[in-house]
A and B are shown apart, each in its own frame.
Chain A
Amino acid sequence: MTTLHWIDYAIMLLYFAFVLGIGAMLRRYVHTSEDFFLSGRSIPAWVTGLAFISANLGAQEVIGMGASGAKYGIATSHFYWVGAIPAMVFVGLFMMPFYYGSRARSVPEYLKLRFDEKTRAVNAVSFAVMTVFSSGISLYAMGKLLNLLLGWSFDASILVAGGIVLGYIFLGGLTSAIYNEVLQFFLIVFGFAPLVFLGLRDVGGWAGLSARLAGVATGNGYAAGAYTRSWAFMGSASANPVGVEWFGLVMGLGFVLSFGYWCTDFLVVQRAMAANSMTAARRTPLIAALPKMLFPFLVILPGMLALVVSSTAVRSTSVPAPGAPAVASAAAAATVAPANPVPERREGIVPPKLDPRTGEPLRDARGRVVLDYDLATPMMLMHFFPAGLLGLGLTALLASFMSGMAGNVTAFNTVWTYDLYQSYIRRGAPDSHYLAMGRFATVFGVAISIVAAYVAASFNNIMDFLQLVFAFVNAPLFATFALGMFWPRATGHGAFTGLVSGILAAAVHHGMSLPAGAHVGVKGGYFGVVTTYPSELAQTFWTAIAAWVTCFVVTIVVSLLTRPRPAEQLHGLVYGLTPKPTDDVKRWYERPGPLAVIVLTLTVALNLIFF
């Protein structure tokens, strides 16, 4: 366990003071509910753009992408260069004209305008529940991590982080969340950049990293380049550590899941809706895409480095807490373990995953120690940063937890107030009433998140189950939006039945398949195992594909059987019935079209460089 220096605490406190100070300063600009929930649609594009990625830059991203980097290597970059970026370009160019142009105040409200009340209700309720639970799960992860690394009290960490987020959103609403997200963005960049630099320096640059990871790859039964080349081994699922072949990857992750998330999730779309003009709204995801495509270097590389940096380290204090013995002791335990045919992985600083009951390192079917990949990035921080920089790195980590949580809370209070409270509980109240309700929703949104964090702490299975349900609910969404925006014939009944059958299709597909080596239960197979996938990700991707296709087909069939809405009711909501947006910027590279071409060209180049 590491004890922090006064300088580390000073950096953290300074950051907290700024975060709350911004909320306090913005308070006097909040007069109407539109100010609170949509920042009065007055924010410049570079700010909404950075907030657009920062809201998504929660714990899942920073910790999870580091973990995936350690698990899958550079192939994790597919989440960015196949997944996020093309979807962000699409939402900016083609979907934002309808979101922003329809003057809908939320994504569910767009569904209400385009389709009908019941389609909105399904989306609003599932979204509201999902956001508070996601924020609870990330709060839980934060409390656990701080307890493990620094010995801080779980309760205190959760309450303080939750309290700060509550404070600045309560005061300044969405503007405050967005401004702080930009602060958090820069903090994360500046906090993690030196980590990558020091890590690469330690292993001898990219060439040294490739050489060392080649050893890890062959040790795990893959070709030498499997961890450092993103496409070369995607031909068959068994040749790469991700366990997916290129088609499942491109369709499942690239098309269905990423478009479903970046194009329909109100958490991110809300940032663009706050922009000060149509062009700014359309440029928001495009501006966001530029730093986003470089994020693999910031969040994935630390995980890859953690596998191979020299563990004879530099800091004797960087030994993890009780409950997670250092790598050295794990190696010692491994030599004691009898009849172990496979040599242990000794390099790197990723600690082994421990059996919660016995405290012994967990082993896989081949008898090798299972590593706790979620600790890859935090261990890198503890390993390489001296007092001072460590404070900055930990503050960046805290910032990522808080920006993720704030994104969830602002999306929740808007959907709750506009789509649920104003629509079903109390209509026609004065605006000040909804503003007060928004502030109140912020309080109970945070409160439920904290409760959810404790639920997660005591019943791990419930959270696995919830995340599974969320995955089912999200998978078909993009089909509904794509048909709604580009096919005037799609009807409300069609959208609703399509959405529900898509969710059911996801559950059925998941229930009839199982990833290799998993047991029947929350991992699938509860309707009988019909197919087995080489990995959990492959199963996730194909579940999404099944949901999307079902939703797409059912929506079309039911729409054709039901009465269409007259075209004049669909103005501003559907492609072809909406005037083409005009750009109000002067320079050519500021226009959404050319910007999109630049973004896509760079993305293709990155894919080729790491092919």
Chain B
Amino acid sequence: MGIDLRMPLGALFGVLGLLLTLYGAATRGQPGTEPTGVPVNLIWGVVLLAFGLWMLLLARRARRASKM
């Protein structure tokens, strides 16, 4: 129906991932940002970003395939 859901899905998680990654990198080592000793914001931001980009890639491939 009209829109490939992987587009908005990829966009949302791409932006969320980018935001978390940048925030995690900028606040690295500051008190209170890594309560468990793991840089979770940074790690998880990268994971979200990768997921978002993967979804966008799949959507683009599907669109190319349908055009041919």
CA distance A16 to B9 in the complex (A): 13
User: What per-residue 1/0 map shows which CB atoms of A306-335 lie under 8 Å from chain B?
Assistant: 000000011100000000000000000000
- Pick from B2, B9, B15, B47: contact of A182, CB under 8 Å: B9
For chain A, the bracket of interface size reads 35 or more
- Pick from B12, B35, B41: contact of A315, CB under 8 Å: B35
Whether A392 pairs with B33 at a CB distance below 8 angstroms is no
Whether A202 pairs with B12 at a CB distance below 8 angstroms is no
- Pick from A26, A183, A201, A389: contact of B20, CB under 8 Å: A389
Whether B3 pairs with A15 at a CB distance below 8 angstroms is no
CA distance A182 to B7 in the complex (A): 12
Segment 20-57 of B: residues with Cβ below 8 Å from A? 20, 23-24, 27, 32-36, 38, 40-41, 44-45, 47-48, 51
Q: Give A contacts to B, CB under 8 Å.
A: 7, 10-11, 14-15, 18, 21-22, 25-26, 28-29, 39-40, 42-43, 47, 175, 179, 182-183, 186, 190, 194, 198, 201-202, 313-315, 384-389, 392
- Pick from B2, B27, B47: contact of A26, CB under 8 Å: B2
Q: Is B19 an interface residue (CB 8 A)?
A: yes
Whether A386 pairs with B20 at a CB distance below 8 angstroms is no
Whether B1 pairs with A392 at a CB distance below 8 angstroms is no
- Pick from B2, B3, B33, B45: contact of A387, CB under 8 Å: B33
Question: From B32, which residue of chain A is reached at the shortest CB distance?
Answer: A386
CA distance A129 to B51 in the complex (A): 40
Whether B38 pairs with A14 at a CB distance below 8 angstroms is no
Q: Which 4 A-B pairs have the closest CB atoms?
A: A314-B35, A388-B41, A29-B2, A42-B1
Whether A392 pairs with B35 at a CB distance below 8 angstroms is no
Are A18 and B12 CB-contacts (below 8 A) given A194-B44, A198-B40, A389-B41?
yes
Are A183 and B12 CB-contacts (below 8 A) given A384-B35, A386-B35?
yes
CA distance A198 to B11 in the complex (A): 27
Whether A179 pairs with B5 at a CB distance below 8 angstroms is yes
Question: From B17, which residue of chain A is reached at the shortest CB distance?
Answer: A190
Minimum C-beta distance from A608 to chain B (A): 31
Minimum C-beta distance from B5 to chain A (A): 5
A-B contact pairs, 11 of them (CB 8 A): A7-B23, A18-B8, A22-B3, A25-B3, A29-B2, A29-B3, A183-B8, A190-B13, A198-B38, A386-B41, A387-B33
Chain B binding surface SS class: helix
Minimum C-beta distance from B68 to chain A (A): 19
- Pick from B3, B16, B36, B38: contact of A392, CB under 8 Å: B16
Question: From A178, which residue of chain B is reached at the shortest CB distance?
Answer: B5
Q: Give B contacts to A, CB under 8 Å.
A: 1-3, 5, 8-9, 11-13, 15-16, 19-20, 23-24, 27, 32-36, 38, 40-41, 44-45, 47-48, 51
Are A386 and B44 CB-contacts (below 8 A) given A25-B3, A29-B2, A42-B1?
no
Minimum C-beta distance from A493 to chain B (A): 41
Question: From B43, which residue of chain A is reached at the shortest CB distance?
Answer: A194
Question: From B36, which residue of chain A is reached at the shortest CB distance?
Answer: A198
Minimum C-beta distance from A24 to chain B (A): 11
Whether B41 pairs with A11 at a CB distance below 8 angstroms is no
Whether B51 pairs with A201 at a CB distance below 8 angstroms is no
Question: From B42, which residue of chain A is reached at the shortest CB distance?
Answer: A388
- 11 extra A-B contacts, CB within 8 A, seeds A25-B3, A194-B40, A392-B16: A26-B3, A29-B3, A40-B1, A182-B9, A183-B8, A190-B44, A194-B44, A313-B35, A385-B40, A386-B35, A392-B20
Whether B19 pairs with A10 at a CB distance below 8 angstroms is yes
Whether A386 pairs with B8 at a CB distance below 8 angstroms is no
CA distance A182 to B12 in the complex (A): 12
CA distance A392 to B1 in the complex (A): 29
Are A183 and B9 CB-contacts (below 8 A) given A14-B16, A198-B38?
yes
Question: From B11, which residue of chain A is reached at the shortest CB distance?
Answer: A18
Are A15 and B12 CB-contacts (below 8 A) given A7-B19, A190-B51?
yes
Q: Which residues of B contact A18 (CB under 8 A)?
A: 8, 11-12
Q: Which residues of A contact B19 (CB under 8 A)?
A: 7, 10-11, 14
Whether B13 pairs with A186 at a CB distance below 8 angstroms is yes
Whether A43 pairs with B1 at a CB distance below 8 angstroms is yes
CA distance A172 to B38 in the complex (A): 41
Q: Which residues of B contact A39 (CB under 8 A)?
A: 1
Are A11 and B5 CB-contacts (below 8 A) given A190-B51, A384-B35?
no
Q: Which residues of A contact B35 (CB under 8 A)?
A: 313-315, 384, 386
Whether B34 pairs with A386 at a CB distance below 8 angstroms is yes
- Pick from B5, B8, B13, B23: contact of A388, CB under 8 Å: B23
Whether A22 pairs with B8 at a CB distance below 8 angstroms is yes
Q: Which residues of B contact A15 (CB under 8 A)?
A: 12, 16
Q: Which residues of B contact A42 (CB under 8 A)?
A: 1
Most buried by A among B3, B5, B32, B41: B5
Minimum C-beta distance from A326 to chain B (A): 16
CA distance A388 to B39 in the complex (A): 11
Whether B12 pairs with A388 at a CB distance below 8 angstroms is no
Question: From B47, which residue of chain A is reached at the shortest CB distance?
Answer: A190
Are A388 and B24 CB-contacts (below 8 A) given A14-B12, A175-B1, A183-B12?
yes
CA distance A118 to B47 in the complex (A): 53
- Pick from B8, B47, B48: contact of A179, CB under 8 Å: B8
- Pick from A25, A26, A384, A389: contact of B44, CB under 8 Å: A389
Q: Which residues of A contact B33 (CB under 8 A)?
A: 386-388
Whether B13 pairs with A29 at a CB distance below 8 angstroms is no
Minimum C-beta distance from B44 to chain A (A): 5
Q: Which residues of B contact A179 (CB under 8 A)?
A: 3, 5, 8
CA distance A245 to B32 in the complex (A): 47
Question: From B45, which residue of chain A is reached at the shortest CB distance?
Answer: A388
Minimum C-beta distance from B46 to chain A (A): 12
Q: Which residues of A contact B3 (CB under 8 A)?
A: 22, 25-26, 29, 179
Minimum C-beta distance from A476 to chain B (A): 36
CA distance A11 to B45 in the complex (A): 12
Whether A11 pairs with B16 at a CB distance below 8 angstroms is yes
Question: From B55, which residue of chain A is reached at the shortest CB distance?
Answer: A186
Q: Which residues of A contact B44 (CB under 8 A)?
A: 190, 194, 389, 392
